[in-house]
Chains A and B, each alone.
Chain A
Amino acid sequence: AQTVTQSQPEMSVQEAETVTLSCTYDTSESDYYLFWYKQPPSRQMILVIRQEAYKQQNATENRFSVNFQKAAKSFSLKISDSQLGDAAMYFCAYRSNYNAGNMLTFGGGTRLMVKP
């Protein structure tokens, strides 16, 4: 079974600064997807960014980018020019392409605080 670990329970960043959230995962599979989801106080899960394991190029979405290190099984999220609205729980998630359900396996989350 796959596991996802987020070693930082909490992080804080000054508004307009850059912050990196860490995620590592354990798998023996070669074909999978990785995701970062944001969960604001409203509790709804919002997809931030996705990475396909077979793509070497790191995904970017506006101020959000990832550093995907497949050999190291590491998938960190970088938020540039942090904004107050970025304050939320961030979950790293793994999705296998080998099981029928394609369900997500989540890490424990990192609470990001943004200081004005």
Chain B
Amino acid sequence: EPEVTQTPSHQVTQMGQEVILRCVPISNHLYFYWYRQILGQKVEFLVSFYNNEISEKSEIFDDQFSVERPDGSNFTLKIRSTKLEDSAMYFCASRATSGTPSEQYFGPGTRLTVT
């Protein structure tokens, strides 16, 4: 069964450093998402991406964040200058189309620890 994959599974970085989290969505999916979950809290939407552009973003997704689909398979989330409060689990998700009640398939997540 196809699945969303994410790398790395755990990333430790120092405050102020740039990080890139990588995701490989399911191959025929067209919509891509990033969510984050701070430990013990709810899952929060960050950004959605379709047709090579951001379709929607939350208040959390400020200028420090960016997303890219550099090739036909990867979908990345970049945090330019990490802060302690960016420590969280980051989930990538993908979805097939908007015309059907298609579900979002989630990857296993990347745990980001900012020290």
Contact = CB atoms under 8 A, between A and B. Distances in A.
Given A43-B108, A108-B42, A109-B42, A103 B101 contact: no
Interface in A28-64: 33, 35, 37, 42-47, 50, 52
Main secondary structure of the interface of B (DSSP, over half): strand
A60 to B, nearest CB: 16
Contact of B45 (A33, A37, A105): A105
Contacts, number: 62
Interface residues of B, number: 29
A103 B56 contact: yes
Interface string B19-47: 00000000000010101000001111101
Nearest to A105: B45
Q: Which of A42, A46, A103, A105 is packed against the most chain B CB atoms within 10 Å?
A: A103
Interface of B: 31, 33, 35, 41-45, 47-48, 50, 55-58, 89, 91, 93, 95, 98, 101, 103-109, 111
Interface of A: 33, 35, 37, 42-47, 50, 52, 91, 93, 99-109
22 contacts: A33-B101, A42-B108, A43-B109, A44-B106, A44-B107, A44-B108, A45-B91, A45-B93, A47-B104, A93-B43, A100-B48, A100-B56, A101-B31, A101-B47, A102-B48, A103-B33, A103-B45, A103-B58, A104-B35, A104-B43, A106-B43, A106-B44
